[in-house]
Chain A
């Protein structure tokens, strides 16, 4: 029924703290994607999950970033020891898993690191 949802919508944290961002994809979608949108960098790919395959982590900017997808549904993006340059909007998308299909995006989580 509903579209992609993300929580929290806003997160303010202090430098050095860990944060977790959550994504609930559209029911039945096997593929899930994380992107980051920051001023001056545009929209950049972070990671994607497709079914039970190993995730493509090639876009993660450092080993402080990790993501998991439990039960093939909900995903959590974790940023450890946050830095000010991590401040951005983190967008999640899902799709049916075919190369030809549309990616549907959530509203994003705005992360501010003080």
Chain B
């Protein structure tokens, strides 16, 4: 059974520091991995999607890497801003059941001015 873990559960950094968020999964048979952002009381906003054949994806200050063989993904956010404060979730799409995203519990990030 696929297990998705995110460490740390919470993170607080001063503005300007780089953020490093980790996601690990137990079964490497995946189609892709997706990173989401969730603001309090809101739905999920997709940040980056990495296909299983890719090693990384970049969008602006965000960079996500994927090492499928070791079951790990890392989301880097450069030069953090207070507006980056949110909960970040990773989700894998299993190869045997592509309709179901399996989510980690999330990392709650606070960026202090």
Chain A residues engaging chain B, CB cutoff 8 angstroms:
4, 31, 33, 35, 42-45, 48, 50, 56, 58-59, 91, 93, 99-108, 110
Chain B residues with CB below 8 A from A50, complex form: 99
Cross-chain pairs A/B with CB under 8 angstroms, 27 sampled: A33-B100, A33-B101, A35-B101, A42-B105, A43-B91, A43-B101, A43-B103, A45-B99, A45-B100, A45-B102, A48-B99, A48-B100, A56-B100, A59-B100, A99-B32, A99-B98, A100-B31, A101-B49, A102-B34, A103-B34, A103-B46, A105-B44, A105-B45, A105-B46, A107-B42, A108-B42, A110-B41
Q: How far is the CB of A58 from chain B (nearest CB, A)?
A: 8
CA distance A104 to B54 in the complex (A): 21
Task: Tell me the minimal C-beta distance from A78 to chain B in angstroms.
Answer: 20
B residues at A contact (CB < 8 Å): 31-32, 34, 36, 41-46, 49, 51, 89, 91, 93, 97-106
Residue pair A108, B46 in contact (C-beta under 8 Å): no
The number of A-B residue pairs with CB atoms under 8 Å apart is 56
Are A33 and B99 in contact, CB atoms less than 8 angstroms apart?
A: yes
A105→B103 contact, CB < 8 A? no
Q: Which of B31, B41, B43, B105 lies in contact with A105, CB distance below 8 A?
A: B43
Residue from A4, A42, A43, A48 with most neighbouring chain B CB atoms (10 Å): A43
Q: Which of A31, A42, A107 contacts B43 (CB 8 A)?
A: A107
Least Cβ distance of B42 to chain A in Å?
6
Most buried by A among B34, B43, B45, B46: B43
CA gap between A50 and B97 in the complex, in Å: 12
Given A42-B106, A48-B99, A59-B100, are A91 and B44 also a contact pair (CB < 8 Å)?
yes
Smallest CB gap from A95: residue in B:
B99
